[in-house]
Amino acid sequence: MKKKLVIVGNGMAPGRMLEHLFELAPDLYDVTIFNAEPRVNYNRLMLSPVLSGEKTYEDIITHGDDWYLANGVTLHKGSKVEAIDRVARTVAAADGTVAHYDKLVIATGSVPFVIPVLGHQLPGVVTYRDLDDVEKMLAAATPDAKAVVIGGGLLGLEAAAGLKMRGMDVTVVHLMSTLMERQLDPPAAHLLEQEFEKRGIKIRTKSNTHSILGESKVMGLKLEDGTELPCSIVVMAVGIRPSTALAKASDITVNRGIMVDDQMRTNDPDIFALGECAEHRGVVYGLVAPLYEMARTIAEVLVEKPAAYGGSVMSTKLKVTGVDLYSGGDFAEAQDREEIVLRDASRGVYKRLVIKDNKIIGVVLYGETSDGPWFFDKLKKGEDVSKDRDMLIFGQAYAGGPPLDPTAAVAALPPDAEICGCNGICKSKITDAISEKGLTSIDDVRAHTKASASCGSCTGLVEKLLVLSLGEKYQANAVQPMCKCTDLGHGDVRRLIVAKQIKSIPQLMQELEWKTSCGCAKCRPALNYYLIAEWPGEYEDDNQSRFINERVHANIQKDGTYSVVPRMWGGMTSAAELRAIADVADKFQIPAVKVTGGQRIDLLGVKKEDLPAVWSDLNAAGMVSGAAYAKGLRTVKTCVGSEWCRFGTQDSTGLGIKLEKFMWGSWTPAKVKLAVSGCPRNCAEATCKDIGVICVDSGYDIHFAGAAGLDIKGTELLCHVDTEDAAIEVIAALTQLYREQGHYLERIYKWAKRVGLESIKTNIVENVEKRRNYFARFTHAQTFLQVDPWAERVSGKHAHEFLPMRSFPMQIAAE
Amino acid sequence: MNWIDIGAVDDVPVRGSRVVTTTAGDIAIFKTADSRVFALWDKCPHKGGPLSQGIVHDDSVTCPLHNWVIGLEAGEVRGPDQGCARKVETRLEAGRILLPSHILGRKAA
Ligand code: SRM
Ligand SMILES: Cc1cc2nc3c(=O)[nH]c(=O)nc-3n(C[C@H](O)[C@H](O)[C@H](O)COP(=O)(O)OP(=O)(O)OC[C@H]3O[C@@H](n4cnc5c(N)ncnc54)[C@H](O)[C@@H]3O)c2cc1C
Ligand code: SF4
Ligand code: FES
């Protein structure tokens, strides 16, 4: 029988440990994990980009549900272990779950420290540790709202930068006289402070918090010197403490952290401690690199390989976009050390090396950090630097030769130079993997070596290794850029629009550094859509960024004439409507009238200048634009259903009409077509539509992500609902999720494939509150979008589109 | 050359175009983001698509039918495709756009 391995805590360290373990011995253990957080494992280091809007939670998941499934790991989400019974060898969680273990790993991480000042329990006081904290901050992050961050360390500054990017007014309150005093010396800290102030973040050093103000929620923060800072949210980022309560209660030896030996064992030989909760040789670590080394050690010990963890030296980078800062080792001033400093005020560069016994023991780099790994490599190896001391501070570019370009500099690194500090991956490991496994992208390298998969700071170095290994074959952009006007992909642009509160195309091109003066025919329609979708009622549609069909609300034909398709709600029409269509065809001598594949009628060959008059007549008979040209709601096909058909189970025609009347006018990333069939015989072909409904006796099966154009694909079942109202709510919410996530021109089935059916089901089916929110946002947007574009133009809007500027009808001798 | 006033620069939308009809076919009048004005015969060198209906960006227009990109200044096709739309001379005077009279089938202004 397999041995039972139980893990308490599902953070970064145990995630890594399991990967090693499964690599070494996939079938040795039956693994159960308890996670107090109600979710899978994600990259905690990347919370700041989620906070700032540069990434989403989905982007930072490291082990998704499918990973647990594939590896046979039982994960108890939202289940906090409260007791370990070392005699019975079981753990028990607050929710009543009990698990038996042969080996137990405690990986409870840290708890953020909260300063117990008056008011620290008020709603609005948050710490910064997990996704829930980020969500709390985002909920408070309305533009122009005020935030105070207590703590000017790594976490506090990342939080401040993120909240600022969300449009908040941010003040950082820091007890010490300089920022990040544990990683930076004062001159570098000063440069950092200037950079933050330049971004509009206020910094108050040497400031102690007296109390947090407010009755029922945070209203402000009072400093010891009496200053009051009004704010609606206080982020406490003042430090962390190893989370040891569980171990202590079970009589496991705890000092500052849970004490472990070189095999990461506690005083109970079957119980290990891993990660930030562990104390090894008197040191408690707070960065991932050492934790990953511990993780490897435990995995090896678990399969009975000889292994020992010997402690780590660490380096840090601050992950705030646009700030370059690197520090590693020890840089306190002392008698026995010398230092080499380089300052270049005009470029904002500062470099400092601390040297002891001719060896580098500390590095601080600001403004230009590319030599960080090179110095750190010498530091870790304890290399004697006496012979090139003079040029040392200039970095590897000057080390014994002419200056190198950045790629050549990476080429010159020794094979054992460390590239990825978080994961301890050296250069040769990456280049070997590239050549042996045929890797071609950053994502490949991440998947196979883990390099650049944690904090991401070394991505540039890894890219250079790809360039060196693959040359021309390497496509630098793992993300497909939107078009030649930018290097950003669609997803990046959508996130940055929200994060930077971008509300117009010119502003967007300015802030996201578009390479062309006004975009191109690929990006402009996409940007126009993203802005409409993001800022309903606020953004002013840019007509000139729309394709001609959406500009004149008809489909251009090969000869420059247009086709006109009025809505026929749910495919239903009447004698009066048909008569009006016939009259229009006669009156304007429209050459072709055709029944479309979408259950309505197309008038083909209309002259552009006749369009407003044609619409006026159709409007008069009660018809509106069918949007046959739109990246928006097209048709809702129906069958006759229970009204007439002997097999009909529900009123499919009626539901189709309701859906079309509720959803028309909506702009979407690509066209959206619906169908409702009255029974599983499916005469409306609902199972190849973007969204389809199959009526059954017990209600409505809602399908989505079908295709029957360039690709053919049957739909996926989203859920079953009992009532028409519930069906409409689910469908509108699903459409809204797609409106917010879809890339321009990406049909629903492609979007679903990209984001995963599971995430869509979670948002729309499982999480009722989220569904309601998506539904509410759809409904809100509709209040601005349900204006018949034909009626608008009949009454004169964009009249210039339909009229020549001037006509010279015939040859005249003289004017 | 004689010139005929066909309308105000302001009548043409920025990053857009208007049409002047003549017996010899339509002429597309384009205005760029920085308000420069250009004119081309309104026929794409590919399959005759109406260039006036395209999306104007920088100093080019993308044809609405099959997305060829045509330079506004000289009418040349950009990118991998080959061909040229015919250019029409323009003149700006006091916020008005003028075209050569012979193009419009007129004798003189
Ligand atoms: C008129 C119509 C054909 C007909 O005579 O029946 C038609 C006509 C055109 N279709 Fe369609 N499609 C028509 C139903 C369909 C259907 C059937 C349906 O809706 O049930 C499909 C397959 C279902 C689907 O959309 O997946 C269909 C799949 C396409 C595609 C492939 C889309 C895809 O993503 O795979 C295109 C190309 C595109 O959109 O890029 C396309 C594009 C076009 C365009 C817009 C081509 C173009 O870009 O100019 C045609 C415009 C003609 C015009 O001016 O009206 N049409 N087209 C149908 C109008 C339906 C309506 O009432 O609005
Ligand atoms: C915003 C942010 C940015 C960071 N940036 C960097 C960086 O750039 N570089 C770097 O090296 N490090 C960084 N860190 C630190 C890094 O994230 C941590 O060192 C690392 O995540 C610790 O891993 P761990 O597995 O020990 O603990 P964690 O990842 O904290 O995981 C512990 C897990 O255990 C769960 N848990 C606790 N108690 C119980 C219980 N009783 N029962 C069940 N579950 C329990 C917790 O809910 C948590 O999910 C950052 C941290 C944060 C918060
Ligand atoms: S299938 Fe659609 S796109 Fe193709 S010719 Fe027919 S109408 Fe046009
Ligand atoms: S007609 Fe202009 S691109 Fe084909």
Chain-chain contact of A544 with B54 (C-beta, under 8 angstroms): no
Q: Half-sphere exposure of residue A609, counting CA atoms within 13 Å on the CB side? A: 9
CATH 2.60.40.10 fits B12-89, yes or no: no
Nearest chain A CA: its distance from B85 CA (Å): 16
Going A804 to A810 to A814 to A815, the CA torsion angle's sign is negative
Residue-wise pLDDT for A412-461, tens only, equals: 777 887 888 777 788 899 999 998 888 888 878 887 888 887 777 777 78
Q: Which of A519, A806, A812 comes nearest B6 by C-beta?
A: A806
What number is the average pLDDT over the span A662-687?
97
Dist. CA A622 → ligand 1 center (Å): 25
Q: Identify the CA nearest to A696 among candidates A727, A673, A660, A657.
A: A727
Asked if residue A566 lies in contact with residue A624, where contact means CB atoms within 8 angstroms, the answer is yes
Strands A98-100 and A90-93: antiparallel
Q: Higher pLDDT residue, A700 or A419? A: A700
HEC-encoded secondary structure of A625-692: ECCCCCCEEEEEEECCHHHCCCCCCCCHHHHHHHHHHHHCCCECCCCEEEEEECCCCCCCCHHHCCEE
Q: Residue ranges per domain, chain A?
A: 3-111+242-302, 125-238, 324-398, 408-473, 490-546, 550-625, 633-787
Residue-wise pLDDT for A739-774, tens only, equals: 999 999 999 999 999 888 988 999 999 999 999 999
Distance (Å, rounded) from C-alpha A457 to C-alpha A324?
10
CATH architecture of A3-111+242-302: 3-Layer(bba) Sandwich (3.50)
Q: What is the pLDDT of residue A341?
A: 80
Q: Identify the CA nearest to A800 among candidates B103, B91, B29, B86.
A: B29
Cβ neighbour number for residue A396 with a 10 Å cutoff: 24
Question: Do A125-238 and A3-111+242-302 fall under one CATH topology?
Answer: yes
The band of A373, judged by pLDDT with boundaries at 50, 70 and 90, is: confident
Ligand nearest the Cα atom of residue B64: 4
**Can you spell out the DSSP letters for A714-762?**
--EEEEEESSHHHHHHHHHHHHHHHHHHPPTT--HHHHHHHH-HHHHHI
Chain-chain contact of B53 with A525 (C-beta, under 8 angstroms): no
Q: Residue ranges per domain, chain B?
A: 12-89
What number is the average pLDDT over the span A85-92?
96
> B interface mutation test: which of A548, A808, A815 has the most B CBs within 10 A?
A808
> What does the DSSP 8-state code read for residue A144?
T
Distance (Å, rounded) from C-alpha A222 to C-alpha A282?
37
Q: Identify the CA nearest to A417 among candidates A355, A469, A375.
A: A375
A109 lines ligand 2 (CB under 6 A): yes
Q: Which of B20, B33, B55 comes nearest A804 by C-beta?
A: B20
CATH number of this structure's domain A408-473 = 1.10.10.1100
Distance (Å, rounded) from C-alpha A76 to C-alpha A93?
10
Chain-chain contact of B106 with A808 (C-beta, under 8 angstroms): yes
Asked if residue A136 lies in contact with residue A229, where contact means CB atoms within 8 angstroms, the answer is no
Q: Identify the CA nearest to A205 among candidates A196, A188, A193, A217.
A: A193
Does residue A502 surpass a pLDDT of 60? yes
Q: Which helix (H) or strand (E) holds A499?
A: helix A490-499
Q: What is the pLDDT of residue A54?
A: 85
Over chain B, what is the mean pLDDT?
A: 91
The band of B108, judged by pLDDT with boundaries at 50, 70 and 90, is: very low
What number is the average pLDDT over the span B44-52?
94
Q: Where do the DSSP E strands lie in A262-397? A: 271-273, 278-280, 315-317, 325-329, 338-344, 349-356, 359-366
A156 lines ligand 2 (CB under 6 A): no
A596 lines ligand 1 (CB under 6 A): yes
- Name the residue with the closest Cα to ligand 4, atom 4: B66
Does residue A185 surpass a pLDDT of 90? no
Chain-chain contact of B7 with A524 (C-beta, under 8 angstroms): no
Q: Which of A544, A547, A808 comes nearest B21 by C-beta?
A: A808
The β-bridge partners of A570 are none
Please tell me the least confidently modeled range out of A131-140, A153-162, A240-249, A328-337: A328-337
Does residue A812 surpass a pLDDT of 60? no
A802 touches chain B (CB under 8 A): no
Q: What is the pLDDT of residue A409?
A: 73
Longest Cα separation, chain A: 112
> What does the DSSP 8-state code read for residue A130?
S
A648 lines ligand 2 (CB under 6 A): no
Q: Identify the CA nearest to A303 among candidates A543, A649, A20.
A: A20
The band of A597, judged by pLDDT with boundaries at 50, 70 and 90, is: very high
Spell out the residues 6+ positions from residue A193 whose beta carbon is closer than 8 angstroms to its own: A178, A179, A203, A205
Distance (Å, rounded) from C-alpha A596 to C-alpha A605?
15
Task: For residue B90, give both structure tokens.
Answer: 């323009």
Q: Half-sphere exposure of residue A745, counting CA atoms within 13 Å on the CB side? A: 10
CATH number of this structure's domain A633-787 = 3.30.413.10
Q: Identify the CA nearest to A658 among candidates A724, A610, A733.
A: A724
The radius of gyration computed from the CA coordinates of chain B, to the nearest angstrom, equals 13
Give the homologous superfamily in CATH for domain A324-398.
FAD/NAD-linked reductase, C-terminal dimerisation domain (3.30.390.30)
Q: What is the pLDDT of residue A814?
A: 43
Dist. CA A558 → ligand 1 center (Å): 15
A555 lines ligand 1 (CB under 6 A): yes
Distance (Å, rounded) from C-alpha A331 to C-alpha A119?
37
Q: What is the pLDDT of residue A402?
A: 47
B35 touches chain A (CB under 8 A): no
Task: For residue A607, give both structure tokens.
Answer: 């002259």
In chain A, which residue's Cα lies nearest the Cα of B32?
A518
The β-bridge partners of A192 are none
Angle at B82 between CA B76 and CA B84, to 5 degrees: 35
The band of A815, judged by pLDDT with boundaries at 50, 70 and 90, is: very low
Dist. CA A95 → ligand 1 center (Å): 54
Q: Which helix (H) or strand (E) holds B103?
A: none
Does residue A400 surpass a pLDDT of 60? no
**Can you spell out the DSSP letters for A427-475?**
HHHHHHHHHHHT--SHHHHHHHH-TTSSS-TTHHHHHHHHHHHHGGG--
Does residue A268 surpass a pLDDT of 60? yes
Q: How is domain A550-625 classified at the CATH fold level?
A: Sulfite Reductase Hemoprotein; domain 2 (3.90.480)
Cβ-Cβ pairs closer than 8 A, A with B, add up to 97
Chain-chain contact of B54 with A548 (C-beta, under 8 angstroms): yes
Residues of B in contact with A812 (CB under 8 A): 105-107
Return phi, psi of residue A248, to 5°.
-55, -45
Does residue A238 surpass a pLDDT of 80? yes
Spell out the residues 6+ positions from residue A608 whose beta carbon is closer than 8 angstroms to its own: A552, A560, A561, A562, A802
- Mark A745-780 as b/e (b = at least 16 C-beta within 10 Å): ebbbbbbbeebeeebbbebbbeeeeebeebbebbee
Q: Identify the CA nearest to A326 among candidates A460, A448, A200, A131.
A: A460
Q: Which of A800, A808, A813 comes nearest B22 by C-beta?
A: A808
A800 touches chain B (CB under 8 A): yes
Angle at A708 between CA A704 and CA A714, to 5 degrees: 45
Nearest chain A CA: its distance from B93 CA (Å): 17
Determine what percent of chain A is predicted with pLDDT higher than 90: 66
Q: Identify the CA nearest to A746 among candidates A778, A707, A773.
A: A707
B55 lines ligand 4 (CB under 6 A): no
- Name the residue with the closest Cα to ligand 1, atom 13: A597
> B interface mutation test: which of A485, A505, A518, A545 has the most B CBs within 10 A?
A518
A745 touches chain B (CB under 8 A): no
A592 lines ligand 1 (CB under 6 A): no
Does residue A142 surpass a pLDDT of 50? yes
Ligand nearest the Cα atom of residue B85: 4
Q: What is the pLDDT of residue A448?
A: 83
A76 lines ligand 2 (CB under 6 A): no
Atom of ligand 1 nearest to the CA of A554: 54
Torsion angle of C-alpha atoms A657, A660, A663, A665, degrees rounded to 10? -140
Determine what percent of chain A is predicted with pLDDT higher than 70: 97
Q: Higher pLDDT residue, A472 or A200? A: A200
> What does the DSSP 8-state code read for residue A520?
-
Q: What is the pLDDT of residue B109?
A: 42
Asked if residue A584 lies in contact with residue A617, where contact means CB atoms within 8 angstroms, the answer is yes
Highest mean pLDDT among A180-189, A353-362, A369-378, A527-536: A527-536
Chain-chain contact of A804 with B22 (C-beta, under 8 angstroms): no
In chain A, which residue's Cα lies nearest the Cα of B22?
A808
Pocket-testing residue among A34, A41, A101, A108, ligand 2, by greatest number of atoms within 8 A of Cβ? A108
B57 touches chain A (CB under 8 A): yes
Please tell me the least confidently modeled range out of A109-123, A373-387, A526-540: A373-387
Q: Identify the CA nearest to A151 among candidates A127, A122, A184.
A: A127
Residues of A in contact with B50 (CB under 8 A): 556, 560
HEC-encoded secondary structure of A25-62: CCCCEEEEEEECCCCCEECHHHHHHHHHCCCCHHHHEE
Asked if residue A192 lies in contact with residue A201, where contact means CB atoms within 8 angstroms, the answer is no
Does residue B47 surpass a pLDDT of 80? yes
Q: Identify the CA nearest to A170 among candidates A237, A240, A110.
A: A237
Over chain A, what is the mean pLDDT?
A: 90
Torsion angle of C-alpha atoms A302, A303, A304, A305, degrees rounded to 10? -110
Determine what percent of chain B is predicted with pLDDT higher than 70: 96
Asked if residue A458 lies in contact with residue A288, where contact means CB atoms within 8 angstroms, the answer is no
Ligand nearest the Cα atom of residue A601: 1
Residue-wise pLDDT for A535-544, tens only, equals: 999 999 999 9
Dist. CA B50 → ligand 3 center (Å): 20
Distance (Å, rounded) from C-alpha A171 to C-alpha A160?
8
Pick the CATH number of A125-238 from 3.50.50.60, 1.10.3720.10, 1.20.970.10, 3.20.20.60: 3.50.50.60
Does residue A813 surpass a pLDDT of 50? no
Q: What is the pLDDT of residue A406?
A: 67
Q: What is the pLDDT of residue A404?
A: 53
